[in-house]
């Protein structure tokens, strides 16, 4: 199917709302790129906040808790907006659309388009068809139609980008519906991946994150079980690429050649997100996670032996069906031994369509909540201790946009250290400030004290908290091509007729942040 619909007679505006994981955010970048190629323009920030775009796309999740309620809450809010805006269209895509299909239009008949995870490329055509036919269009493909990375992309950042190395998943975890909704794993060829990375770097990016449901199984489809380690090493040869990250690995498939490649490739960052899910071998078996706690801890030991300063993060599910107090105690034991820098922690809730939803032993909410509180208290303590160990260290921070909620009040800038810890840095005394077109970061003749998103600073850590560091002893500022690209983009915003311009960009993507404790 063509990815381009006929251009609308007037420049219709769009907004894409993303619910869910980093895969969804990257898919949303493709949706935005396709819409812009088809002649749409991104709504202004004010119109986006007011939901007054001509087209609103909701990219859904079926994995996170309350996914359906979040979708229908969004749709309920949009119903009255659409009533007051003749010609407005609403589209629903992503995992929940793949799962619920026409049921979305049955429940919310004001929706114009429903499309799935396998046919992102259909979005512009379906919008045009719905407008022409004056009726909802529902199109769900059963298998991948076009590899998403070949689609136009409007990336949200110029200094860091996601690059998909595979889509889909071959695992059968009983709590997860992803393989059903995204299909079996499909791998891109290494040359295609590296070409995309090189294109990002050429446009100013200094960081990439290699993205897959299970990056460690990359290469199985084309017969090379060592392909992921080779890919990491190949990224190390790309001039101008300063930081390489990846997510997510699977402990069952994590091999020592990847550890060696991480340690021996200077631009692969000392950071690893390794999902634990449970510390109980009995529960891991019920989850169909084909590793056990001692194997997991052994991987962490080998990573830290090769990369002593590595920050390791994880995912944990509390209250899986049948989990006993003894099982939960095993999770606490493994968390204590693992010394995670941070964790995504989830209270188990049944996901329709998954085997775990049908298991006996579903636990009362109050039991799950009580265990969750104990787990997060333990992880908060460990994270605080691990952060405190950073005091006095010199960190290299890639400055990002709006990473700190209190930056304006504290007059600090924020970014990510090499190990992906969030760091707030005090600027040099007397640094000039300004807003809009007068922002000193946009000047072609930069003040030496000014730091732009994409630039790199060195600073000494002076304070610590469980999930961030403060480094108020600034040692130096390094200009980068990423900072130049950010300033050029921002200057362009003040000469364009609309908020972000209409050009389809292939540069940059949303930087992945360090996972933090998620309270549910």
3-state secondary structure 107-166: HCCCCCEEECCCCHHHHHHHHHHHHHHCCCEEECCCCCCCCHHHCCCCCCCCCEEEEECE
Q: Grade residue 400 by pLDDT with cuts at 50, 70 and 90.
A: very high
> Within this chain, do residues 129 and 177 fall inside the same structural domain, yes or no?
no
Q: What is the CATH number of the domain that holds 128?
A: 3.40.50.12160
> Within this chain, do residues 39 and 168 fall inside the same structural domain, yes or no?
no
Rounded CA separation 227/235 (Å):
12
Residue 7 lies in a domain: no
> Within this chain, do residues 78 and 44 fall inside the same structural domain, yes or no?
yes
Determine the pLDDT at residue 516: 37
> Within this chain, do residues 310 and 209 fall inside the same structural domain, yes or no?
yes
3-class DSSP state of 414: strand
Rounded CA separation 196/62 (Å):
29
> Within this chain, do residues 357 and 434 fall inside the same structural domain, yes or no?
no
Answer left, alpha or beta for residue 94, where phi above 0 means left and psi between -120 and 50 means alpha: left
Show the domain range for 109: 13-139
% of residues, the chain, pLDDT over 70: 91
Of 389, 414, 432, which residue constitutes the final position of a domain?
Answer: 389
Residue 146 lies in a domain: no
Q: Grade residue 336 by pLDDT with cuts at 50, 70 and 90.
A: very high
Determine the pLDDT at residue 496: 57
pLDDT over 60 (residue 502): no
Residue 364 lies in a domain: yes
pLDDT over 50 (residue 520): no
Q: Which residues pair with 207 in a beta bridge?
A: 160, 243
Rounded CA separation 327/331 (Å):
7
Round the CA-based radius of gyration of the chain to a whole number and report it.
23
Nearest to 509 by CA among 491, 488, 485, 474: 485
Joined together, the tokens standing for residue 322 give: 């049948």
Of 83, 108, 139, which residue constitutes the final position of a domain?
Answer: 139
pLDDT over 50 (residue 510): no
The arrangement of strands across the sheet holding 394-399 comes to 463-465, 468-471, 422-425, 413-416, 394-399, 456-460, 473-478
Q: Grade residue 210 by pLDDT with cuts at 50, 70 and 90.
A: very high
Q: Is 61 within any annotated ligand binding site?
A: yes
pTM above 0.85, yes or no: no
Mean pLDDT along residues 26-31: 84
Nearest to 385 by CA among 333, 328, 342, 334: 342
Determine the pLDDT at residue 499: 43
Tally of domains within the chain: 3
Rounded CA separation 275/167 (Å):
18
Q: Grade residue 404 by pLDDT with cuts at 50, 70 and 90.
A: low
> Within this chain, do residues 85 and 33 fall inside the same structural domain, yes or no?
yes
Count of other CB atoms within 10 angstroms of residue 352: 11
Rounded CA separation 509/156 (Å):
5
Residue 85 has φ and ψ, to the nearest 5°, of -130, 85
Determine the pLDDT at residue 100: 86
Residue 131 lies in a domain: yes
pLDDT over 70 (residue 128): yes
List of residues 6+ apart from 259 with CB closer than 8 A: 302, 303, 306, 307
- pLDDT of 299-325, one tens digit each? 999 999 999 999 999 999 999 999 999
Average pLDDT, the chain: 88
Mean pLDDT along residues 190-213: 94
> Within this chain, do residues 333 and 197 fall inside the same structural domain, yes or no?
yes
Q: What is the CATH number of the domain that holds 445?
A: 2.40.50
Q: Grade residue 517 by pLDDT with cuts at 50, 70 and 90.
A: very low
pLDDT over 50 (residue 447): yes
> Within this chain, do residues 250 and 187 fall inside the same structural domain, yes or no?
yes
pLDDT over 70 (residue 472): yes
- pLDDT of 216-257, one tens digit each? 999 999 999 999 999 999 999 999 999 999 998 999 999 999
Alpha-helix residue ranges (DSSP H) falling in 389-514: 407-410, 481-493
Of 355, 389, 423, which residue constitutes the final position of a domain?
Answer: 389
Rounded CA separation 335/300 (Å):
12
Mean pLDDT along residues 186-194: 94
pLDDT over 70 (residue 132): yes
Residue 185 lies in a domain: yes
End-to-end distance of the chain based on CA atoms, in angstroms? Answer: 41
pLDDT over 50 (residue 339): yes
Mean pLDDT along residues 415-435: 94
> Within this chain, do residues 354 and 371 fall inside the same structural domain, yes or no?
yes
> Within this chain, do residues 385 and 403 fall inside the same structural domain, yes or no?
no
Mean pLDDT along residues 405-419: 86
Q: What is the CATH number of the domain that holds 363?
A: 3.80.30.20
- pLDDT of 367-394, one tens digit each? 999 999 999 999 999 999 999 999 999 9
Most confident of 76-85, 92-101, 462-471: 462-471
3-class DSSP state of 332: helix
Nearest to 30 by CA among 3, 70, 62: 3
Determine the pLDDT at residue 120: 86
Answer left, alpha or beta for residue 351, where phi above 0 means left and psi between -120 and 50 means alpha: beta
b/e for 165-174, b at 16 or more Cβ within 10 A? bbbbbbbebb
Q: Grade residue 157 by pLDDT with cuts at 50, 70 and 90.
A: confident
Would you report the helix, strand and coil content of the chain in percent, each value rounded to 5? 35, 20, 45
- Strands 55-60 and 113-115, by their bridges, are unpaired
Joined together, the tokens standing for residue 413 give: 């800038």
Rounded CA separation 372/374 (Å):
5
> Within this chain, do residues 190 and 300 fall inside the same structural domain, yes or no?
yes
Q: What DSSP state is assigned to residue 84?
A: T
Residue 82 lies in a domain: yes
Rounded CA separation 42/53 (Å):
8
Residue 8 lies in a domain: no
Q: Grade residue 437 by pLDDT with cuts at 50, 70 and 90.
A: confident
Determine the pLDDT at residue 273: 97
Q: Grade residue 205 by pLDDT with cuts at 50, 70 and 90.
A: very high
Q: What DSSP state is assigned to residue 466?
A: T
Residue 105 lies in a domain: yes
Determine the pLDDT at residue 498: 43
> Within this chain, do residues 309 and 418 fall inside the same structural domain, yes or no?
no
Nearest to 343 by CA among 465, 468, 516: 516
Q: Is 235 within any annotated ligand binding site?
A: no
């Amino acid at each position: 199917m063509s990815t381009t619909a006929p251009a609308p007679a007037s420049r219709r505006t769009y907004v894409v709302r993303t619910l869910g994981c980093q895969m969804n955010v990257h898919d949303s970048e493709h949706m935005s790129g396709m819409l812009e190629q088809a002649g749409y323009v991104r709504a202004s920030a004010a119109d986006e906040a007011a939901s007054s775009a001509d087209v609103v796309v909701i990219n859904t999740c079926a994995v996170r808790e309350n996914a359906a309620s979040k979708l229908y809450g969004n749709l309920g809010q949009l119903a009255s907006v659409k009533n007051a805006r003749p010609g407005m269209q609403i589209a629903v895509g992503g995992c929940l659309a793949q799962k619920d299909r026409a049921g979305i239009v049955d429940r919310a008949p004001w929706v114009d388009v429903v499309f799935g995870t396998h046919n992102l490329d259909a979005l512009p055509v379906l919008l045009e068809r719905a407008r022409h036919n004056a009726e909802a269009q529902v199109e769900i493909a059963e298998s991948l139609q076009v590899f998403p990375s070949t689609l136009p992309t409007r990336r949200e950042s110029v200094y860091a980008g996601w690059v998909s190395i595979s889509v889909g998943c071959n695992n059968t975890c009983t709590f997860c519906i992803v393989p059903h909704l995204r299909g079996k794993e499909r791998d891109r060829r290494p040359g295609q991946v590296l070409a995309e990375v090189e294109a990002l770097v050429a446009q100013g990016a200094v960081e990439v994150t290699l993205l897959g449901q299970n990056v460690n199984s990359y290469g199985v489809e084309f017969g090379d079980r060592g392909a992921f380690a080779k890919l990491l090493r190949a990224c190390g040869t790309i001039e101008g690429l300063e930081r390489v990250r990846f997510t997510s690995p699977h402990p069952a498939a994590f091999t020592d050649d990847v550890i060696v490649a991480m340690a021996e490739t200077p631009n692969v960052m000392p950071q690893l997100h390794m999902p634990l899910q449970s510390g109980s071998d009995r529960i891991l078996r019920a989850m169909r996670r084909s590793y056990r706690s001692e194997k997991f801890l052994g991987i962490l030991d080998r990573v830290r032996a090769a990369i002593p300063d590595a920050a390791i993060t994880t995912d944990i599910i509390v209250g899986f069906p049948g989990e006993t107090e003894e099982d939960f105690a095993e999770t606490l034991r493994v968390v204590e031994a693992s010394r995670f820098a941070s964790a995504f922690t989830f209270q188990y809730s049944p996901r329709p369509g998954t085997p775990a939803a049908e298991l006996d032993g579903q636990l009362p909410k109050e039991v799950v909540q009580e265990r969750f509180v104990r787990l997060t208290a333990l992880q908060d303590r460990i994270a605080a201790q691990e952060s405190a160990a950073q005091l006095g260290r010199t960190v290299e921070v890639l400055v990002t946009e709006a990473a700190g909620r209190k930056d304006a009040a504290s007059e600090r800038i924020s970014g990510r250290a090499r190990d992906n810890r969030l760091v707030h840095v005090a600027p040099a005394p007397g640094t000039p400030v300004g807003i809009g077109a007068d922002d000193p970061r946009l000047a072609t003749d930069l003040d030496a004290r000014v730091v732009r998103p994409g630039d790199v600073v060195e600073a000494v850590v002076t304070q610590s908290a469980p999930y961030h560091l403060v480094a108020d002893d600034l040692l130096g500022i390094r200009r980068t091509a990423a900072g130049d690209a950010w300033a050029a983009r921002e200057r362009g915003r003040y000469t364009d007729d609309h908020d972000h311009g209409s050009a389809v960009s292939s540069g940059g993507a949303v930087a992945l942040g360090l996972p933090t404790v998620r309270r549910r």
